[in-house]
């Protein structure tokens, strides 16, 4: 029997409230199979750590510290925004990766990210094969944008959806209280530059009796129709809540957030979509407004994570290791929905050739005909994903989150300059 190969794990792109739960799933499952997997090395700051040979030795972390990753938001080993170019354009980066893997006896590559990293993962697998140093490359799905194909949902999304629905509900109660003499329109800006999945979660509060307007990137912004809709809701309910995706744009493609506004010094103003939408309401209708921009709070909010999401994040991490142990390569564990209510799912598998570079948008039948809300089909899809709570432990009023030692593996190769 061949000696156990080491594994390499890296976090890629924007982090989430549950990406560390996937790391926990990978590491705990690998530790349970020492006959086949040696050490798990993590990339310091993602794939950059592999290129620069900055590897973290996760075997130096206690079982307790690794277990705590399950309830720790963000990327415990660091992540990065660094997209490898095509093989033709940048073959030497891929070759460097494989050289580092070879130097550290790495036979398993677990890459935890979205569409871009699925593509990188696929290419590493192909090139390693052709270079005579086969590596089992498994992609672990993660993205708050929920835009990976084949899998029913993406770990990270359910928790941001829960954050948005809970926050929009709570703020709507606030506005409802104040509307008689004060704020009548509350605007909440959420993430989602291309796909409206996150904004859609705001539509769930309609079932709680809240008048809500959702602005999707998929629906070009119709200012007059929007104004009329807000006015009708305020006249009927006394107030309304608007959930606007950062990717909401005018018919000409300009983002609402890029109004070309300038500050007093003539510098381009660093705007958000929420203040722009609030301004439109104010000018057209005169209603008092408040606006919030959730930004990183929404994807970091482990304290209000969805239990379903945490569980799935852990499971795809664990499944990635099991797929590798079963001999699979260039695949990604997926979440296959079996039923909506009661919610049932199982872990499946997709070939990376079908995952890489495919974006999944909201189906048109998930958005109401007027473009300002979500349909019952969308609600059936979303509801299970925000189910359940999984609060972290608290000490002295604050959540207990892991900060790892992140000890370096001594490098063995010459330095490599990043482009």
Q: Tokens 């989602």 sit at which residue? A: 192
Segment near its own copies (CB under 8 A), from 90-98, 314-322, 364-372, 398-406?
398-406
Binding mask 194-223 for its own copies (x = CB under 8 A): ----------xx--xx--------------
Vertex 14 angle, CA 42 and 317, to 5°: 45
Residue 58 per-residue DSSP state: G
Segment near its own copies (CB under 8 A), from 32-40, 111-119, 292-300, 344-352?
292-300
The verdict on 287 binding its own copies (CB under 8 A) reads no
Binding mask 70-99 for its own copies (x = CB under 8 A): --xxxxx-xxxxx-----------------
Dihedral (CA of 161, 350, 20, 143) sign? negative
Residue with Cβ nearer its own copies (80 or 318): 80
Bridge partners, 249 (sequence order): 255
Residue with Cβ nearer its own copies (178 or 285): 178
Q: Which of residues 129-148 bind its own copies (CB under 8 A)?
A: none
Quick check: is 340 catalytic? no
Which listed residue (220, 228, 394, 405) binds its own copies by CB under 8 A?
394
Least Å distance, CB 105 to its own copies, is 26
The verdict on 15 binding its own copies (CB under 8 A) reads yes
The verdict on 263 binding its own copies (CB under 8 A) reads yes
Q: Residue 33 burial by CB count (10 A; 0-12/13-18/19+): exposed, middle or buried?
A: middle
Q: At what angle do helices 19-31 and 307-325 cross, to 10 degrees?
A: 40
Beta strands in 246-330 (DSSP E): 289-293
The verdict on 125 binding its own copies (CB under 8 A) reads no
Residue with Cβ nearer its own copies (206 or 336): 206
Residue with Cβ nearer its own copies (24 or 80): 80
Nearest to 81 by CA among 4, 166, 1, 15: 15
Segment near its own copies (CB under 8 A), from 99-107, 139-147, 266-274, 320-328?
266-274
Residue 163: how many CB atoms within 10 A of its CB?
27
Which residue out of 57, 88, 105, 145 is catalytically annotated?
145
Q: Is 63 helix (H, G, I), strand (E, B) or coil?
A: helix
Helices (H) and strands (E) in the chain, counts: 13, 13
Residue with Cβ nearer its own copies (264 or 415): 264
Which listed residue (34, 86, 182, 357) binds its own copies by CB under 8 A?
182
Q: Which two tokens stand for residue 124?
A: 């590493």
Least Å distance, CB 383 to its own copies, is 6
Residue 243: which residues within 8 A CB-CB, separation 6 or more? 164, 168, 187, 188, 190, 199, 202, 203, 212, 213, 214, 215
Q: Is 384 helix (H, G, I), strand (E, B) or coil?
A: helix
The verdict on 355 binding its own copies (CB under 8 A) reads no
Give the HSE-up count for residue 335: Cα atoms under 13 Å, Cβ half-sphere. Answer: 29
The verdict on 14 binding its own copies (CB under 8 A) reads yes
Residue with Cβ nearer its own copies (6 or 52): 52
Segment near its own copies (CB under 8 A), from 1-9, 122-130, 160-168, 224-232?
160-168
Which listed residue (224, 283, 327, 369) binds its own copies by CB under 8 A?
283
The verdict on 401 binding its own copies (CB under 8 A) reads yes
Q: At what angle do helices 223-237 and 273-285 cross, to 10 degrees?
A: 70
Which listed residue (387, 406, 411, 416) binds its own copies by CB under 8 A?
387
Catalytic residues: 145
């Amino acid at each position: 029997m061949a000696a156990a190969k080491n594994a390499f794990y890296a976090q890629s792109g924007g982090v989430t409230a549950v990406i560390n739960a996937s790391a926990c799933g990978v590491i705990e499952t690998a530790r349970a199979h020492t006959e086949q997997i040696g050490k798990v090395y993590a990339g310091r700051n993602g794939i950059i750590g592999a290129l620069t040979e900055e590897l973290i030795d996760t075997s130096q972390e206690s079982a307790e510290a690794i277990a705590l990753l399950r309830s720790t938001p963000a990327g415990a080993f660091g992540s990065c925004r660094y997209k490898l170019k095509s093989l033709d354009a940048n073959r030497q980066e891929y070759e460097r990766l494989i050289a580092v893997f070879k130097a550290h006896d790495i036979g398993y590559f677990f890459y935890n990210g979205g569409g871009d990293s699925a593509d990188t993962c696929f290419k590493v697998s192909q090139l390693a094969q052709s270079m005579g140093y086969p590596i089992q490359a498994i992609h672990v799905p993660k993205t708050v944008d929920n835009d990976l194909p084949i899998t029913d949902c993406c770990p990270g999304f359910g928790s941001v959806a829960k954050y948005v629905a809970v926050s929009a509900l709570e703020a709507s109660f606030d506005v409802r209280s104040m509307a008689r003499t004060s704020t009548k329109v509350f605007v909440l800006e959420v993430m989602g530059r291309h796909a409206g999945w996150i904004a859609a979660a705001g539509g769930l509060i309609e079932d709680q009796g809240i008048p809500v307007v959702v602005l999707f990137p998929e629906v070009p912004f119709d200012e007059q129709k929007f104004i009329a809709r807000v006015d009708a809701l305020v006249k009927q309910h006394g107030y309304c809540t608007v959930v606007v995706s950062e990717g909401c744009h005018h018919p000409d493609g300009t983002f609402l957030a890029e109004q070309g506004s300038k500050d007093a010094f003539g510098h381009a103003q660093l705007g958000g979509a929420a203040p722009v939408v609030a301004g439109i309401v104010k000018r057209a209708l005169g209603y008092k407004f408040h606006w919030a921009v959730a930004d990183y709070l929404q994807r970091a909010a482990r304290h209000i994570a969805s239990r379903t999401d945490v569980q799935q994040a852990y499971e795809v991490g664990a499944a990635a290791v099991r797929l590798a142990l079963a001999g699979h390569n260039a695949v990604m564990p997926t979440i296959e929905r079996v039923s909506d209510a009661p919610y049932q799912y199982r872990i499946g598998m997709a070939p990376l050739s079908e995952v890489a570079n495919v974006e999944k948008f909201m189906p048109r039948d998930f958005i109401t005909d007027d473009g300002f809300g979500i349909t019952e089909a969308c609600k059936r899809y979303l509801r299970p994903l925000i189910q359940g709570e999984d609060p972290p432990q608290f000490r002295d009023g604050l959540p207990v989150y892991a900060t790892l030692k992140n000890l370096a593996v001594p490098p063995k190769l010459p330095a490599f300059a990043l482009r």
